[in-house]
Amino acid sequence: MTLWAILSDVHGNREALDACLRDAEGQGADKIAILGDVVDYGPDPVYCIERSTEVADVLLVGNHEQATVETDEYAEPSAVMDWSLGVLSESAVWRELQEQIREQGAVELASRVVGDMHFVHASAGRPTIQYVWPGHEIQYVQFNHHIDDRLSKFLGEFQATLGFNGHTHVPAVMTGYEHREIFDAYKGVRRHHVHT
């Protein structure tokens, strides 16, 4: 059995990337999937994109990589994005990735099926921009039926038995609707949702 380490949304944070890679090595990971948004925000986007390209068995494009090429999708680039692009322009690895985005499109590069696993940056239906998360915890009780429907739709869009996504910055494991539960990986607490 292959053990995968799955990372996402590094956002130019070298220390976080290195810590995750050390942990993956310590856990005995055989393969690494990085689900996009490697650049922007943090101070080391060049290191992060080059290191990610070097170690990842699956490296996806996120909305932050998309924004550097498909600028029509993002009306107002930020000062941080402008700075990141200036720094990244010196990287041959980065220029190659941008060319791939231009040729293939970010949506195509934000989703990949490997065996019985489907990796996406955001959601399987809209791989660069849609959040797969029902919202704030307080809404669970008030809008349980709507949340069940939304999560069922998200889970149904994956093209494999196991689906993995980033983008939310919220660690969680969601199981199929028939189980009616969400496991909050961050708190380690099971929440059961009953469809009424």
DSSP state of 130: -
Domain boundaries along the sequence of the chain? 4-111, 113-192
Alpha carbon distance 96, 153 (integer Å): 35
Q: In residues, how long is the chain?
A: 196
- Does the pTM exceed 0.85? no
Contact 107, 115 (CB under 8 A): no
Helices (H), 27-167: 45-55, 63-69, 79-88, 92-104, 106-109, 139-142, 144-156
The CATH H-level superfamily of 4-111 is Metallo-dependent phosphatases (3.60.21.10)
pLDDT 10s digit of each residue in the chain, 196 long? Answer: 899 999 999 999 999 999 999 999 999 999 999 999 999 889 999 999 999 999 999 999 999 999 888 766 555 667 888 888 889 999 999 999 999 999 999 999 999 999 999 999 998 999 998 877 655 555 554 555 666 677 777 778 888 888 899 998 877 776 654 544 444 454 544 443 333 3
